């Protein structure tokens, strides 16, 4: 297998990290509903929250909805705040109405928000009560928190998947199976499924596309995280006896290869077989990356904290595209899960955990990187200051994992640079 990769994995020397607390310009965990409701096709996400939560969801979901979505908000009103007994009754009614309208729903998530948590509305209890009532009708009811006081953006998916883990069936003693955790675009999931099948590794995915297809878990389960923000899910799987395999995340040619290699090693796949399976897609990924490399090479890039994808993506851009990460900000830095990618970041990268947005923007202005990866609230203002930006949310919403998306991933970073070149004549500097 890939010897240099293994060596790099072993070297996990701690790096200095700038830890900041201040204003955080990030979404809350509710945002995960925007992709999770598409991923689990018979699940409905009912946020118990405020008008703000409803507004966040519709704004993050692309401002407008084209068809009735499988998510909604039960908006807490003045009268609900008066007495708690009332709220539970109201919630039961809302759920009954919702399920009557959507007979196709098999799994209902009650999603906690800041208001529901501050008033101590026990959604776990509510879910258990509703679940008992709905089970005979073939509908499961679970709860998790997507609140902004507890979860940051992608942590919402972590909380959702962690809530699914206790529902997974116990695996029999039929030897090892691989579990790929983290929602991926269907096309990527299918690609990985083919690769694991070719490697002879029996593999399942979490979350499944249908609520009734939860994979089994047990001591024979080996977990490969597909997303870097699944700490709680990993812990819950470990409680069920599973073993989590540390690996770099599957971005680009080398990241994907290293990720697959970790699984291959755990399942005793021979070097020859591994090479036979990955050689062609790896070569495709390398060819696709080579096209973008001239544009990206040597360009300086800073990440503002957003999805926890920052460290693995910085690894990909530095190692495979020749970019120079200046600051890599992430909402949370988990040594355990981010370690393998961290170890492969170049020296001299400024790592920042948490956020004080004003101070961070001061650093961006001082650094003047060629590309800033940031949220939608900051992108246009930074562009107006003459910086080039990439919307971080696109990295979460687009298929970017795996060999066959390596070129697309690089292109997402190349596009703003290309665009700036094409429109150079329109820049205010050009007019003077």
Partner 1 sequence: MKLAAWTYEGPPHVGAMRVATAMRGVHYVLHAPQGDTYADLLFTMIERRDHRPPVTWTTFQARDLGADTAELFKAALRDAHARFRPEAMLVGASCTAELIQDDPGGLAATMGLPVPVIPLELPSYSRKENWGAAETFLALVRALVDRSRRPSPREGRRPRVNLLGPTALGFRHRDDVTEVTRLLDTLGVDVHVVAPLGATVADIAALGEADLDICLYPEIADSACRFLEKSFGRPTIRTVPIGHLATCDFVREVAGHLGLDPAPALAAAHARLPWWSRSVDSTYLTGKRVFVFGDATHAIAIARVARDELGFEVVGLGCYNREFARELRAAAAEHGIEPLVTDDYLEVEARIAALQPELVLGTQMERMIAKRVRLPCAVISAPVHVQDFPARYSPVMGFEGANVLFDTLVHPLVMGLEEHLLTMFREDFEFSDEAGPSHLAASHAAQHAAAQPQIRPEPVAAQAAADGLVAWTPDAERELRKIPFFVRGKARRNTEAYAAARGISAITVETLYDAKSHFSR
Binding site for ligand SF4 (CB under 6 A): 28, 30, 49-50, 52-53, 56, 113-115, 147-148
Instruction: Using the minimum distance from each CB to ligand SF4, give the nearer residue, 111 or 311.
Output: 111
Stretch 385-424: interaction string toward partner 1, x if CB under 8 A: ----------------------------------------
Per CB under 8 A, the list member of 32, 112, 148, 325 interacting with partner 1 is: 148
Report how far residue 397's alpha carbon sits from residue 363's, in angstroms, rounded to the nearest whole number: 27
184 binds partner 1 (CB under 8 A): no
One of 85, 100, 366, 425 touching partner 1 (CB under 8 A): 100
Beta carbon of residue 68, minimum distance to partner 1 (angstroms, whole number): 6
User: Backbone dihedral region of 322: left (phi > 0), alpha (psi from -120 to 50 degrees) or beta?
Assistant: left
Tokens (6 digits) for 212:
């009734």
Residue 390 binding target from ligand SF4, partner 1, none, CB below 5 to 8 Å by type: none
State the minimum distance, in angstroms, from the CB of residue 53 to ligand SF4.
3
Distance, in Å, from the CA atom of 171 to the CA atom of 218, rounded to the nearest integer, reads 5
Whether omega before 207 lies within 30 degrees of 0, making that bond cis, reads: yes
Q: Which is nearer to partner 1, 20 or 408 (CB)?
A: 20
Pairing state between β 221-225 and 177-181: parallel
Q: How many CB atoms lie within 10 A of CB 149?
A: 13
Q: Does 157 bind partner 1 (CB under 8 A)?
A: no
Distance (Å, whole) CA 67 – CA 310: 32
The backbone torsions φ and ψ at residue 324, rounded to the nearest 5 degrees and listed phi first, read -115, 105
Least Å distance, CB 246 to partner 1, is 28
Tell me which residues in 53-72 interact with partner 1 (CB under 8 A).
53-56, 58-60, 63-69, 71-72
CB-nearer residue toward ligand SF4: 31 or 302: 31
- Are the CB atoms for 277 and 198 separated by under 8 Å? yes
Closer Cβ to partner 1, 1 or 376, answer by number: 376
| Least Cβ distance, residue 116 to ligand SF4 (angstroms) | 8
Paired tokens of 30:
């509710």
Interface segment toward partner 1; rule CB under 8 A; list 128-136, 147-155, 207-215, 269-277: 147-155
Read off the tokens for 174.
């039929």
Minimum CB distance to partner 1, residue 385 (Å): 9
Is there binding between residue 379 and partner 1 (CB under 8 A)? yes
Q: Alpha carbon of 310 to those of 182, 232, 317, 388: distances in Å?
A: 16, 19, 10, 17
Task: Provide the 3-class DSSP secondary structure of residue 387.
Answer: coil
**Inter-CA distances, 16 with 333, 340, 343, 373, 410, Å:** 12, 16, 13, 21, 28
Q: Could you give the CA distance from residue 257 to residue 259 in angstroms, rounded to a whole number? A: 5
- Residue 365's binding partner among ligand SF4, partner 1, none (Cβ under 5 to 8 angstroms by kind) is none
- Using the structure block, give the residue that is written with the tokens 């990206």: 296
Q: How far is the CB of 234 from partner 1 (least distance, A)?
A: 21
Q: Which residues bind partner 1 (CB under 8 A)?
A: 22-31, 48, 50-56, 58-60, 63-69, 71-78, 80-81, 87, 90-91, 93-94, 97-98, 100-104, 114-115, 117-119, 147-150, 152, 358, 375-381, 383-384
């Amino acid at each position: 297998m890939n010897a240099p990769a293994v060596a790099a994995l072993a070297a996990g020397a701690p790096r200095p990290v700038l830890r900041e607390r201040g204003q955080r310009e990030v979404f809350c965990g509710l945002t995960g509903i925007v992709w999770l409701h598409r991923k689990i096709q018979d699940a409905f996400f009912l946020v118990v929250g405020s008008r703000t939560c409803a507004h966040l969801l519709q704004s993050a979901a692309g401002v407008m909805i084209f068809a009735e979505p499988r998510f909604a908000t039960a908006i807490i009103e003045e009268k609900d705040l008066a007495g708690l007994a009332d709220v539970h009754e109201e919630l039961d009614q809302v759920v009954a109405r919702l399920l009557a309208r959507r007979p196709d729903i098999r799994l209902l998530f009650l999603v906690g928000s800041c208001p529901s948590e501050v008033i101590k509305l026990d959604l776990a209890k509510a879910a258990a009560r509703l679940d008992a009532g709905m089970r005979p009708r073939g509908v499961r009811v679970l709860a998790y928190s997507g609140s902004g006081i507890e979860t940051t953006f992608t942590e919402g998916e972590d909380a959702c998947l962690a809530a699914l883990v206790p529902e997974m069936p116990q695996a029999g003693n039929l030897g090892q199976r691989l579990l790929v955790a983290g929602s991926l675009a269907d096309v990527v999931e299918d690609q990985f499924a083919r690769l694991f099948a070719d490697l002879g590794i029996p593999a399942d995915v979490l979350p499944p596309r249908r609520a009734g297809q939860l994979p089994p878990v047990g001591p024979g389960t080996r977990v490969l995280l597909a997303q870097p923000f699944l700490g709680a899910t990993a812990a819950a799987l470990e409680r069920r006896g599973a073993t989590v395999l540390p690996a770099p995340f599957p971005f680009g040619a080398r990241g994907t290869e290293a990720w697959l290699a970790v699984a291959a090693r755990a399942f005793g796949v021979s070097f020859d077989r591994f090479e036979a399976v990955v050689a062609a897609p790896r070569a495709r990924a390398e060819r696709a990356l080579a096209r973008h490399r001239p544009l990206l090479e040597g360009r300086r890039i800073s990440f503002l904290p957003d999805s926890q994808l920052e460290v693995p993506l910085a690894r990909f851009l530095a190692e495979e595209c020749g970019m120079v990460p200046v600051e890599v900000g992430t909402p949370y830095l988990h040594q355990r899960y981010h370690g393998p990618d961290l170890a492969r970041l170049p020296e001299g990268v400024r790592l920042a955990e948490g956020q004080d947005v004003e101070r961070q923007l001061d650093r961006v202005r001082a650094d003047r990187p060629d590309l800033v990866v940031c949220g939608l609230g900051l992108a246009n203002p930074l562009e107006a200051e003459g910086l080039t930006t990439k919307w971080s949310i696109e990295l979460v919403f687009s298929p970017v994992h795996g060999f066959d998306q390596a070129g697309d991933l690089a292109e997402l970073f190349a596009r703003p640079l290309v665009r700036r070149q094409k429109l150079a004549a329109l820049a205010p500097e050009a007019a003077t």
